[in-house]
């Protein structure tokens, strides 16, 4: 039986200014299996986020803002395969970050084995080493790895900012529900687009 629900309203900001030395961009799981149409778990709206994410990365690099990537990583007999089937197996084409957003020298790639970019990884430690307080979170999938990473960041008292044009989901409901949760549960800042973010 289908159920129709309405996502409660959430606030969308037109502009946010962030101190460059205390801010970082996190690109969540922009890998071939999720972003390329030939991928094992293709998210149809993910390709449209490549250009905005790349624009944000250019802006961040120009401002000297640190950039982190998460790379979902699975091995033989991973329990997550029982949920989603085999995907982003270590060393495969599907596991690689898409060519358009390849990390550059100085960027940090965090390999993770679960939805949350902080779970079992050095991400929190590295952010604290660099005195980061604000995280601009982009990538896919909005209500899965983006939401869990944003939630985990907020529970560690990082300020979370999410540009709407730089995340993707399998359905509109999942997309808006994730943004609502980030705003409502974690007091994250939702902005219209990457153009709304100013590093100062």
Which residue of the set 29, 72, 78, 116 is catalytic? Answer: 29
Q: How many helices (H) and strands (E) does the chain have?
A: 6, 9
Active site residue 29: yes
C-alpha distances (whole Å) from 82 to each of 18, 26, 77, 86, 126 are 41, 27, 9, 8, 32
Active site residue 112: yes
DSSP string covering 117-179: SSTTSSHHHHHHHTT--EEEEEEE-IIIIIHHHHHHHHHTT-EEEEEGGGEE-SSHHHHHHHH
Which residue of the set 33, 72, 112, 165 is catalytic? Answer: 112
Active site residue 174: no
Which residue of the set 78, 145, 159, 165 is catalytic? Answer: 145
Q: Give the distance, in angstroms, between the CA of residue 80 and the centroid of all CA atoms in the same chain.
A: 19
Q: Exposed, middle or buried by CB within 10 Å (0-12, 13-18, 19+), for 162?
A: buried
Residues taking part in catalysis: 29, 112, 145
């Amino acid at each position: 039986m289908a159920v129709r629900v309405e996502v409660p309203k959430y606030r969308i900001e037109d502009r946010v200014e962030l101190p460059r030395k205390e801010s970082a961009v996190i690109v969540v799981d922009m890998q071939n299996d999720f972003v390329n149409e030939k991928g094992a778990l293709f998210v149809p709206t993910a390709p449209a986020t490549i250009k905005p994410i790349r624009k944000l990365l250019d802006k961040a690099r120009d401002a000297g803002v640190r950039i982190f990537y998460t790379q979902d990583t699975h091995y033989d007999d991973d329990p997550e395969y029982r949920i989603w089937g085999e995907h982003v197996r270590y060393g495969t084409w599907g596991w690689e970050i898409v060519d358009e957003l390849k990390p550059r020298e100085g960027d940090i790639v965090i390999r993770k084995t679960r939805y949350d970019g902080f779970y079992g990884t050095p991400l929190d430690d590295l952010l604290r080493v660099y005195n980061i307080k604000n995280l601009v979170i982009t990538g896919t999938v909005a209500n899965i790895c983006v939401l869990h990473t944003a939630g985990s960041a907020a529970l560690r008292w990082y300020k979370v900012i999410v540009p709407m044009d730089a995340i993707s989901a399998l359905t509109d409901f999942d997309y808006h529900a994730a943004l609502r949760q980030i705003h409502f549960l974690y007091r994250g800042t939702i902005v219209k687009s990457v153009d709304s973010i100013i590093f100062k």
